[in-house]
A and B are shown apart, each in its own frame.
Chain A
Amino acid sequence: EDQVTQSPEALRLQEGESSSLNCSYTVSGLRGLFWYRQDPGKGPEFLFTLYSAGEEKEKERLKATLTKKESFLHITAPKPEDSATYLCAVQTSGYSTLTFGKGTMLLVSP
């Protein structure tokens, strides 16, 4: 059974204090790893897709990386508007469905 574990469950940062969120996975045949941002009362918003170990993608203050066992979402010099829940999901071979982690709730204080 595919498993996705995100850590920490919650993270509080000061504005400008860089950090990383972790997504570790146990799957049989990774086809893609997806990162989403979710604001309270809203649906998840797509951020990145990663396909193979060593791959990196960036968007503004966010950078996602992938190894064979985990992915990191690095947040550089965060701002209060980066506060949200960040979700990680994996797709395995032969299926169109995703398995989601429980998310990391990020709060950035001014």
Chain B
Amino acid sequence: DGGITQSPKYLFRKEGQNVTLSCEQNLNHDAMYWYRQDPGQGLRLIYYSQIVNDFQKGDIAEGYSVSREKKESFPLTVTSAQKNPTAFYLCASRAKGGLGYSNQPQHFGDGTRLSIL
């Protein structure tokens, strides 16, 4: 079955530590996205990528980094500079249709919950 796989499901970070969240998709989608979700908040965009080896900052990129070396993979690193990393992190992907992206929904993985030790 095609889909988006996020791992791990739960992750704990120590002070001063960088951690990397994995996101893999086998949908052959061009664009991939990372969101952060806090209780009572909507999804906030961290980074997105529309093509391999290129990515753009979203609304809350500070303290995060990404790479897009393969079409299928878009890992997110939460660096020690992110002082409030506790949240639910969601990865999404989207196909590019005949009208660009506007007629294609984003599809989501089941998230990684990151907590501070």
Contact = CB atoms under 8 A, between A and B. Distances in A.
B111 A46 contact: no
Interface of A: 4, 9, 31-32, 34, 36, 41-46, 49, 51, 87, 89, 91, 96-98, 100-103
Interface string B81-117: 0000000001010101000111101111111010000
B42 interface: yes
Interface residues of B, number: 30
Ordered nearest first, which 10 A-B pairs have the shortest CB separation? A43-B108, A31-B102, A96-B101, A100-B42, A102-B42, A100-B43, A46-B105, A43-B110, A32-B102, A44-B108
B115 to A, nearest CB: 14
A98 B59 CA distance: 11
Contact of B111 (A9, A42, A45, A100): A42
Contacts, number: 60
Interface of B: 4, 6, 31, 33, 35, 40-45, 48, 50, 58, 90, 92, 94, 96, 100-103, 105-111, 113
B1 to A, nearest CB: 14
Given A42-B110, A51-B103, A102 B41 contact: yes
B43 A96 contact: no
